[in-house]
Amino acid sequence: MHLAELNVVNFRKLRNVTLRFQAGLNVIVGANNVGKSAVVDALRALLAGHDEPYPRLDESDRCHAADGTSEGAIGFHYVFRDLSHDDEADFLAALKPGADGKLEAHIHVRYADPDPSGRFRVKRWCGDHEDISLTSDVMENLRGVYLQPLRDASQGLRPSRNSQLSRLLHLLADQAGRDGINAALRDLDEELKKHPPILHTERAIVGRHSSMLGGQLAQSLAVGLSASDFQRLSSRLSLSVDAFEIEQNGLGFNNLIFMAVVLSELATNPDAAYRGLIVEEPEAHLHPQLQVVLLRYLASLQAEGGKPVQLFVTSHSPNFASNANLDALACLVELDGQVETFFPREVAFEKGKREKLERYLDVTRAELFFARRVIFVEGAAELMLVDALAAKAGYDLRDHGVSLISVEGLNFDSFLPLFGELGLKIPVAVLTDADPHAPPAEQELAAEAPEINEPGEDNDDVEEEEELDEAGGADDQDGGKPKKKKVVPIYPALGEVITVSSNTAKMKKSEDRFVKVFHGLKTLEYDLALYVTNRDAMLRALADPHPTIAKALRKRVDAEVNNMDQARILFRGMFERKQNNVQKGRFGQALAQVISDGADFDIPPYIVEAIKHVCSKVAP
């Protein structure tokens, strides 16, 4: 069985939120102060472990309205599914038929009726009737362990009667094993007592004791092992690491060791029908490589055998989000003070898009699961330029909580299904190229026009880029190499009506009030070059890596009279050369620096509108 749903009502930032979990690993992600710790405490209200008490809540834990007022009870509703016949017998009082006709176990916890100090009284019950209280037998069948953030794992591994190590030893030892340990301890104790240091110590103490109290009052004393039987040994057992005491080991590795002990105890425990492990911010003491190692182990845990353990992990780490399977993610997102949930596994991706997304989700792009606002761009050049342009327009993207994410090409369609009315409800702007095409008649005229010999074609100071042939994709009917279909570029003027590419048009059709697509007339660099003020800054930026080309292009641009022709000459002279195109990323970095240094620069309106969209409240 596993916890399939948790409904949280009137608890801190969660007014009415339902989380859906899968068996195995669940990674709960979201921005700071969005309610992840509240979810953890909601889980603990039913699944508190042996060592920690159930959460104690008071009136301050209620969800507060915008005016600061709060009222009503705090409620948690737990739904367990995939029950075996034995589970159904153990949770008989909590059973209800689900939508699929299979039996589910429903358990409720309510915090209400505060005492004079403001602390709530708690009530737990099964099914739909409050008079069917949760019995101790049912509670014992729900085994949970909570690992808090920034914990001192070595404390939990120190010898004690109730340590995790002691409990694990008791679970794994049968009667024959206990008898064997008792016999070995007795033999060792007797053997130790024969050694002179032990004998001399005992005689010194006994002699002094007898002379102090006399024959009538003196007690029988003996020096030997304190852990002389299994029970005492289990409370004094400790772990060593590479021959060192556990306290001398690093915090990160100690947390991993403690987690291994806890998981071993949970998977071995025969008494509980359900086992859950709640881990809050496991990245606190782990560097990125160990975070990935831990996540992959947790994801594969069910395949190791033993009794199943359901895992709940809250994290701020993009490492966890980027390496977790999309099925494991549960996202919390806040919009206008209201927290909602989103589950990527429930998104209907087009064929192949989900797999593509999982390949592209690295640490940087996984930031989208923690973002409050997002601007998607095509590549590295746009990534650097948009930040500089936003600052020029008076918007600090960091202050507005905007994440700039590059999809490295035209892979927007793999990311966008995660957002909008049916996904993460946060403002999203897509900045993409229009990549316009001309009507067939204009294409033929353009194809017949002579090719312009751009300046500096043979200059050696341009770094050669690797050219990838993406045209066609299949051999022609004659069995030869794929034929290249020549697409004749067009160069629109400011204010000209264009026909955008099919990819851009498709994205425009998918817009809603959260996700908006913004494009100019051609590409970002050409759109910037259409403004007279910008061309000087662009040529200055080009002069940094390619001074000869910049000098030649400046002469050619100045020789033109028409604004569109000047933009075309500048754009083609950098990015549509016969060979050795200027690298867009390198140029974008140089231009961003020129803009940041205070150069006069006009920002195309579509870029300003994109920035305004993500920095403003979304209209209802």
What mean pLDDT comes out for the span 440-459? 49
Indicate if the pLDDT at residue 143 is higher than 70.
yes
Q: What is the pLDDT of residue 384?
A: 92
The residues pairing with 3 across neighbouring beta strands, listed in sequence order, are 80
Indicate if the pLDDT at residue 279 is higher than 50.
yes
In this predicted model, which residue has the larger pLDDT, 454 or 110?
110
Q: Which H/E stretch holds residue 347?
A: none
Q: What is the pLDDT of residues 517-529, one digit of tens each?
A: 999 999 999 999 9
Find, among 21, 24, 72, the residue nearest to 309 by Cα.
Answer: 24
Q: b vs e for 310-326, b when ≥16 Cβ sit within 10 Å of the residue's Cβ?
A: bbbbbbbbbbbbbbbeb
The full set of domains in the chain, from first to last, is: 2-155+269-328 (3.40.50.300), 171-236 (no CATH), 352-465+486-620 (no CATH)
d(CA 292, CA 31): 20
Q: Please tell me what DSSP assigns to residue 160.
A: -
Indicate if the pLDDT at residue 538 is higher than 50.
yes
What mean pLDDT comes out for the span 455-469? 38
Q: b vs e for 454-488, b when ≥16 Cβ sit within 10 Å of the residue's Cβ?
A: bbbeeeeebeeeeeeeeeeeeeeeeeeeeeeeeee
Q: What is the pLDDT of residue 471?
A: 29
What mean pLDDT comes out for the span 428-444? 78
DSSP string, 455-481: TTTT-TTSPPPPP---S--S--TTS-S
Token pair of 126, please?
């099964």
State the burial class of residue 409 (Cβ atoms within 10 Å of its Cβ: 0-12, 13-18, 19+): exposed
Q: What is the pLDDT of residue 209?
A: 85
pTM, two decimal places: 0.80
Q: b vs e for 222-236, b when ≥16 Cβ sit within 10 Å of the residue's Cβ?
A: ebebebeebeebbbe
Q: What is the pLDDT of residue 410?
A: 81
d(CA 200, CA 208): 12
Q: For residue 303, count other CB atoms closer than 10 A to its CB.
A: 7
Q: What is the pLDDT of residue 322?
A: 83
Strands 310-315 and 14-20: unpaired
Share of the chain above pLDDT 70, in %: 89
Q: What is the pLDDT of residues 170-204, one digit of tens each?
A: 878 888 888 888 888 888 888 888 899 988 898 89
Q: What is the pLDDT of residue 50?
A: 61
Q: What is the pLDDT of residues 563-619, one digit of tens each?
A: 999 999 999 999 998 888 999 999 999 999 999 999 999 999 999 999 999 998 776
State the burial class of residue 173 (Cβ atoms within 10 Å of its Cβ: 0-12, 13-18, 19+): middle
Q: What is the pLDDT of residue 442?
A: 55
What mean pLDDT comes out for the span 282-311? 78
The SS3 assignment for 511 reads coil
Q: What is the pLDDT of residue 150?
A: 63
Per DSSP, helices labelled H in 102-157 are: 136-140, 153-157
Q: What is the pLDDT of residue 430?
A: 96
Indicate if the pLDDT at residue 267 is higher than 50.
yes
Q: What is the mean pLDDT of the chain?
A: 84
Indicate if the pLDDT at residue 300 is higher than 70.
yes
Q: Would you mind telling me the total number of residues written for the chain in this entry?
A: 620
